[in-house]
A and B are shown apart, each in its own frame.
Chain A
Amino acid sequence: MKISIGPIQYFWPRKQVFDFYDKMRDSAADIFYLGETVCSKRRELKLEDWLEIAERLSDSGKEVVLSTLTLLEAESEQGVLKRIVTNGRYKVEANDMAAVRLLTANSGHLQNPAFVAGHSINIYNGQTLNYLAARGASRWVVPAEHDQKAITALQQARPDGMETELLVFGRLPLAFSARCFSARAARRPKDDCGFVCRQDAGGKTLMTQDHNPFLVLNGIQIQSAATQNLLWHADEISEMGIDIARISPQIEGMQKIIATARGIFDGELGKESGLSAISRFQAHGGCDGYWRKTAGMDAMEPNRLIG
């Protein structure tokens, strides 16, 4: 099992991003997804900065993938997209069909570059997976709401050479909008957002009126407040032939979370002790409902998932 670190979902200051990846260089993670995938207004890092980070991680023996924006509306966003797609060195994670279109520009005799179909590319059946594979997709990230049975069926249908990647630890990306929810919460218009989302390194928690943490507002993205934690199901995940276990970046505990996932997948760490050691890094508890084909927010073993 390879371990990947998904793209940073939050708006972190430039220095924090550089520091984060510097610390990751000697972690047990194998693959890093780099780039801004949520909001095109977040420009703390330019493509050149991401490429610099990519270079350093590559030098440390890590695989690097450049991730693209999930919601593309303006022409300027498509310019950046083109530069990422044609970077010529690193594999690209397509998070919108615009990226897929640009990555599959060649038809016929020319070979398209291999790419990763991100979680927001809706792959729900083997026909779709095979269609994209024939056009260069070499890896797909399982969409948030798939259950174990559906993933198993898709594993059986996947073509040779297709890798499957699954979010095993992190807040679920649940929705994207034109509206910026962070700006709305701060009573600011999106066009004058003041980059309020930078104040929340882990997003802004939305509670129900009976005070239960429910969702997290992260700019135009909505995440689950609970952390999806599928490490309890590590044996099944391995047996199903999932190739890559994704961890979504967060401020707290990344080294420990990565080491725990590595230990559990390698069979060197007991799930019970491993998961209780990292349960404090799940700010609002854990969930694994999607995996078990129930409400995504549900947790089968609250004591085990939450600790």
Chain B
Amino acid sequence: MDIVISDILNVPLSPMELVCPAGNLPALRAAIDNGADAVYIGFRNNTNARNFPGLNFSANEVASGVAYAGERGKKVFLAINTYPYPHYWQESIETIDTAADLGVDVMILADIGLMEYASTHHPYLRLHLSVQGSATNRHAIDFYYRNFGIKRAVVPRVLSLTQVRRLIKASPVEIEVFGYGSLCVMVEGRCSLSSYVTGKSPNSAGVCSPAEAVRWVEGSNSRDVYLNNVLINRYHEGEPAAYPTLCKGRFEVDGEVFHSLEEPASLNVLEILPQLVRSGAAAIKVEGRQRSRAYVARVTRTLRAALDTCLQDPERFQASQEWVAALNEMSEGTCHTLGAYDRPWQ
């Protein structure tokens, strides 16, 4: 990892928000109780990019969540980050209206049409550009800033640490970066792999590699996993099996079978936390609205402790074994990576 002068000089630190996921009310409470500055949630409909069965919030639950967070000085971000086709348009704008009425602190949007609607109908509502908006550079972010007055952009998991730093300097708005969780290896908002195989994608349906398309087949000495009849992975005896996300399967290229796109590892920025804090990132985001309350509680607690320690004395910050172990245990494939932040990964 390269070192820049601002990492060494004693530049005052801006507080970096810890933004945690919640798929239901208990998870939201767990995130707040364990130190999240903000929790992001979605409605239980087609309007968000984690539209899994049994997940997400009704209007009443959003109201309870907003009250719970508000009483403790914390925030609730509402994500409406699918791209609505015309037949979902009405549902999407009604969801925006409802969320605005319920007093959510922030609306996270990706679609240009919805951005226009929200910024004209709810001019005082704070807007963040979703990671699904695929904005990886200052001009793209500037488009949403100039036209819709966004206050923050969540950047796709494709930039190196150096690129993140430069973007934060050049961006007209705050930048939120991913810190922990499943690693999306593609530019979010520009990946149709899931719909190519199953007909459903994050953009259109809020799902990736949906569970209903997954089929496990037990062989004599292997377990095969299919996504809509495409063989995604083949596990041999004793091999741990992960959720069959399409891009984390094993395929054959030039006669060799390997994780051709990405290993099933989790993103974890613990070891570059001081650099991220120094970079001026406004917030660090945890992936995983589909995760359990216990997962959210443990990840939030660990990252809160790490972030507090880092903010006190970034020069001497060292990731404790306890944090590393806790986060690794929660990881996909129980290992972690810096992903695109680390240039050699690319």
Spot the interface stretch: A207-215, A243-251, A277-285: A207-215
Do the beta carbons of B136 and A208 come within 8 Å of each other? no
Residues in A185-214 with C-beta less than 8 Å from chain B: 185, 189-191, 204-212, 214
Do the beta carbons of B158 and A207 come within 8 Å of each other? no
Do the beta carbons of B251 and A214 come within 8 Å of each other? yes
Residues in B with CB closer than 8 Å to A143 are 192
A189 CB contact (under 8 Å) in B140, B201, B253, B344: B344
Contact of A289 with B by CB under 8 A: yes
Main secondary structure on A side of the interface with B: mixed
Do the beta carbons of A206 and B251 come within 8 Å of each other? yes
Spot the interface stretch: A30-38, A49-57, A98-106, A264-272: A98-106
B: interface residue count bin: 35 or more
What is the CB-to-nearest-CB distance from B31 to chain A, in angstroms, rounded to a whole number? Answer: 28
CA distance A205 to B256 in the complex (A): 12
Do the beta carbons of B192 and A296 come within 8 Å of each other? yes
Do the beta carbons of A125 and B83 come within 8 Å of each other? yes
A71 CB contact (under 8 Å) in B86, B139, B158: B158
Residues in A with CB closer than 8 Å to B189 are 122
What is the CB-to-nearest-CB distance from A72 to chain B, in angstroms, rounded to a whole number? Answer: 5
A125 CB contact (under 8 Å) in B89, B157, B261: B89
What is the CB-to-nearest-CB distance from A80 to chain B, in angstroms, rounded to a whole number? Answer: 12
Do the beta carbons of B111 and A125 come within 8 Å of each other? yes
Contact of B195 with A by CB under 8 A: yes
Could you give 11 example pairs across A and B, Cβ below 8 Å? A101-B142, A124-B85, A124-B203, A153-B86, A174-B193, A175-B190, A175-B191, A181-B261, A210-B231, A295-B196, A297-B197
A residues contacting B by CB (< 8 A) are 70-75, 77-78, 81, 96-102, 104, 120, 122-128, 131-132, 143-145, 150, 153-154, 157, 172, 174-181, 184-185, 189-191, 204-212, 214-215, 217, 222, 224, 289-290, 293-297
B residues contacting A by CB (< 8 A) are 83-87, 89, 110-114, 116-117, 133-140, 142-144, 146, 157-160, 163, 166, 185-187, 189-193, 195-199, 201, 203-204, 228, 230-234, 247, 250-254, 257, 260-262, 340, 343-346
Top-5 shortest CB links A-B: A127-B113, A178-B158, A98-B139, A124-B83, A101-B143
